[in-house]
Structure 1
């Protein structure tokens, strides 16, 4: 069984929910909003997948108290406690969040997402890889442009799910071909 855990901000826990629906073989209105044909990615048996938890972590306080991150980078701004970083900060903090949820849950695949000003940050951490990327949509949380924020969130959900499905099917070379992606092989 491959266990997945998420610590999500701008994707609102939808990545975890979608992966849970896939693992449970749910379809249509009950959770499968983004993955239409998982078999197009390969022959992985999704019954061997389990979502340990899917956390919505928008605030710096939750990063500290829920994820047990001792000294997270200081956000550029706080909006009702919600952390706002620039794009590089988002990429860094998404990795910190993924590593923290991996350590807390001892899962096989950990996902962290956060987005303030820019394209956001998405990280997928396994024992073998650190994958970090951004969405393809620029938005600014401080401007409160709901449509742009929604587009960035949707793009982040879809891109992360694509990375996970490729990863589960051992298609690292295809992941490396995605736009604005960094894949680091971890030393075991």
Structure 2
């Protein structure tokens, strides 16, 4: 069984919900919303995954108290406690959030997402690799443009899920073909 956990900001726990529906083979209203055909990614048996937890973590306070991150990077701005980073900060924070939820839940795969100003950050982390990218949609949380924020969120959910599905099917070639993706091989990391 492969355990998956998420710590999500701008994707609002929807990645975890989708993965739970996939793992449980739910159909109808409780079924898949974003993944149209899981088998198009490969032959992985999705009954072999389990969602340990899916956390919605929009605030810096939750990063500290729920994810137990002692000294998170200081955001550019706070909006009612919601952390607002630039794109580079979002990518760094998505890694921090993924690593924190991985440690807390003792899962096999962790996903972290956060977005303030820019395309946001998405990280998918295992014991052997770290995949970090952004969405394909620019938005600014400070401008409160609901349509742009929604588009960025939807794109982030879809991209994170696609990366995870490809990861489960060991299709790193396809992951590498995505724009703005970084893959770190942790198995070769020198400590």
* Cα-to-partner distance string for 1:92-126 (whole Å, 9 max, x where unaligned): 00000000000001100000000000000000000
State the alpha-carbon separation in 1 of the partners of residues 28 and 167 from structure 2.
24
Q: TM-score, normalised by structure 1?
A: 0.99
DSSP 3-state at the match of 2:29: coil
Aligned to 1:6: 6
Is this contact kept in 1: 2:25–2:31, CA < 8 A?
no
TM-superposed deviation, 1:31: 3.7
* Structure 2 stretches lacking a partner, 5+ long: none
Aligned to 1:153: 153
* Cα-to-partner distance string for 1:72-94 (whole Å, 9 max, x where unaligned): 00000000000000000000000
State the alpha-carbon separation in 2 of the partners of residues 98 and 147 from structure 1.
27
Deviates more, 1:162-171 or 1:29-38: 29-38
State the alpha-carbon separation in 1 of the partners of residues 79 and 64 from structure 2.
16
State the alpha-carbon separation in 2 of the partners of residues 131 and 31 from structure 1.
27
Matched, 1:144 2:147: no
**Measured at CA, do residues 31 and 78 of structure 1 come closer, stay the same or move farther in structure 2, by a change above 3 Å?**
farther
Q: Which stretches of structure 1, 4 residues or more, deviate above 2 A after TM superposition?
A: none
State the alpha-carbon separation in 1 of the partners of residues 176 and 28 from structure 2.
30
* Cα-to-partner distance string for 1:51-74 (whole Å, 9 max, x where unaligned): 000000000000000000000000
Matches within 5 A, 1:28-177: 28-177=28-177
State the alpha-carbon separation in 2 of the partners of residues 111 and 39 from structure 1.
21
Aligned to 1:22: 22
Is this contact kept in 2: 1:95–1:112, CA < 8 A?
yes
RMSD: 0.8
State the alpha-carbon separation in 2 of the partners of residues 110 and 28 from structure 1.
27
**Measured at CA, do residues 115 and 93 of structure 1 come closer, stay the same or move farther in structure 2, by a change above 3 Å?**
same
Is this contact kept in 2: 1:17–1:31, CA < 8 A?
no
DSSP 3-state at the match of 1:12: coil
State the alpha-carbon separation in 2 of the partners of residues 161 and 64 from structure 1.
26
State the alpha-carbon separation in 2 of the partners of residues 59 and 5 from structure 1.
18
